[in-house]
């Protein structure tokens, strides 16, 4: 998989693989995403990206990304998604590639799953950098 990591990219990833390959998370180990799910990239640098997991149902501290803001594979675009303002992940690019492969992400580099930049969660909505921890 040769995705270009950029804000708005969405990958289906396996959190255990992320953690095994150096990812950090702002949520406690008990609250961090643990099942395979979609993650959206918020920001990137040469080494890693800031990602947040996306959930299918609403709940406390969850904010919505509308179906209209999503493009890509039909498994991704059906229905709204929700993100947890308490959960941000710092994921090395290699870890994202491995976790997406392990979860059998179905997006393609030429037709990636994305969230429109205008609907992308803002970095300021999430905990500060000093909240990251390795689980």
- Structure confidence at residue 133 (pLDDT): 85
Task: Indicate if the pLDDT at residue 101 is higher than 80.
Answer: yes
Identify whether 129 is part of a domain: no
Task: Indicate if the pLDDT at residue 2 is higher than 60.
Answer: no
Identify whether 59 is part of a domain: yes
Identify whether 66 is part of a domain: yes
% of the chain residues with pLDDT over 70: 99
Residue 2 and residue 84 in contact, taking contact as beta carbons nearer than 8 Å: no
Q: Provide the domain count of the chain.
A: 1
Buried-exposed string 78-101: b where 16+ CB fall within 10 A, e elsewhere: eebbbbbebbbbbbbeebbbbbbe
Where is pLDDT greater, at 60 or 72? 72
Distance CA 62, CA 60 (A): 5
Residue 94 and residue 20 in contact, taking contact as beta carbons nearer than 8 Å: no
With CA atoms as reference, report the closest residue to 52 among 42, 64, 61, 62.
42
Task: Indicate if the pLDDT at residue 32 is higher than 80.
Answer: no
pTM, entire model? 0.93
- Helix (H) or strand (E) segment spanning residue 43: strand 37-44
Task: Indicate if the pLDDT at residue 88 is higher than 80.
Answer: yes
Question: Structural domain of residue 64, as residue ranges?
Answer: 9-108
Identify whether 95 is part of a domain: yes
Identify whether 13 is part of a domain: yes
Identify whether 56 is part of a domain: yes
**H-type alpha helices, 62-130:** 74-77, 93-102
Residue-level length of the chain: 135
Supply the DSSP string of 53-67, one letter for each residue. Answer: EEESS--TTEEEE-G
Question: How crowded is the C-beta side of 55, counted as CA atoms within 13 Å?
Answer: 17
% of the chain residues with pLDDT over 90: 79
What is the overall mean pLDDT for the chain? 92
Helix (H, G, I), strand (E, B) or coil at 85: coil
């Amino acid at each position: 998989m040769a995705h270009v990591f950029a804000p708005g990219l969405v990958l289906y990833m396996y959190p255990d693989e992320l953690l095994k390959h150096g990812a950090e998370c702002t949520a406690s180990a008990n609250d961090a995403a643990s099942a395979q799910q979609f993650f959206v990239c918020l920001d990137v640098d040469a080494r890693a990206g800031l990602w947040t997991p996306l959930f299918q149902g609403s709940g406390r501290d969850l904010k919505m990304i509308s179906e209209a803001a999503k493009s890509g594979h039909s498994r991704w675009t059906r229905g709204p998604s929700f993100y947890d303002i308490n959960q941000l992940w710092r994921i090395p690019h290699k870890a994202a590639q491995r976790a997406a492969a392990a979860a059998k992400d179905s997006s393609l580099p030429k037709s990636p799953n994305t969230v429109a930049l205008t609907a992308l969660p803002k970095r300021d909505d999430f905990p500060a950098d000093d909240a990251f921890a390795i689980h």
